[in-house]
Structure 1
């Protein structure tokens, strides 16, 4: 499981005083990027291999400005051309679940504009992050 910490900025909150729902999708995107980097993939856009097919976020408890949040990412499912990422966002201090999210990522050839089978080396890396719950 890959983890990183985010500290919500004041501009990421709304008039109700909690983190705005759109901000969570930014945290999930950061988690995906960090996850791809942990797999050894370059952030060079001329050689980008992934496309986001679907994403979702469920808001469990309120998060607030300057609260330290831990974003954990793991693999839930691996298919022939795609994989499912799961995310958990927890308060670092209390371990209270703040939000959960998921994303379906497709291995994609941008030159040919089509999905491709996951290469063996990627599948092996993904299997190391597979968590069955």
Structure 2
């Protein structure tokens, strides 16, 4: 599992006083950087292999400015060319949002998905949640 701390910004706060719902998917993506680095260690867009094909977010409680949030990201499922991530955002011990994201290992040159190589599959397995 990966743990990321994010400090909410004033600009992310909406007119009703909580963090805008459009911000949460952006924070979830920011918390995926360690997984991006597994596939593209230098994060070069020339070598980019991870293409998102599905994302879902459940909003469970409001998130507020001035209090850090913790995001935990783990691998839920690994397929042949794709994998599913689960994410959970908490603030002050309260779960505020949960989500999933499905990525495919994509070859930009051929414009086709490719099997996840064994070494990457092994690294992804290290980040599966123990149930």
TM (norm. structure 2) is 0.94
1:2-46 Cα shifts (integer Å, max 9, x gaps): 001001101111111011010001101101123322666320110
Q: Is the 8 A contact 1:49 1:110 kept in 2?
A: yes
Q: Residues 11-90 of structure 1: matches in 2 within 5 Å?
A: 11-37=11-37, 41-90=41-90
SS in 2 for 1:19: coil
Which sections of structure 1, spanning at least 5 residues, go unmatched? none
- Choose the corresponding residue for 2:120, options 114, 122, 128: 122
Aligned residues: 131
SS in 2 for 1:76: strand
Partners of 1:14 and 1:87 lie apart in 2 by 23
Match of 1:104 in 2: 102
TM (norm. structure 1) is 0.93
Q: Is the 8 A contact 2:40 2:48 kept in 1?
A: no
Partners of 2:11 and 2:63 lie apart in 1 by 13
Partners of 1:7 and 1:20 lie apart in 2 by 14
Q: Is the 8 A contact 1:55 1:101 kept in 2?
A: yes
Structure 1's 2 and 67: CA in aligned 2 closer, same or farther, altered over 3 A?
Answer: same
Partners of 1:44 and 1:75 lie apart in 2 by 23
Partners of 1:27 and 1:52 lie apart in 2 by 15
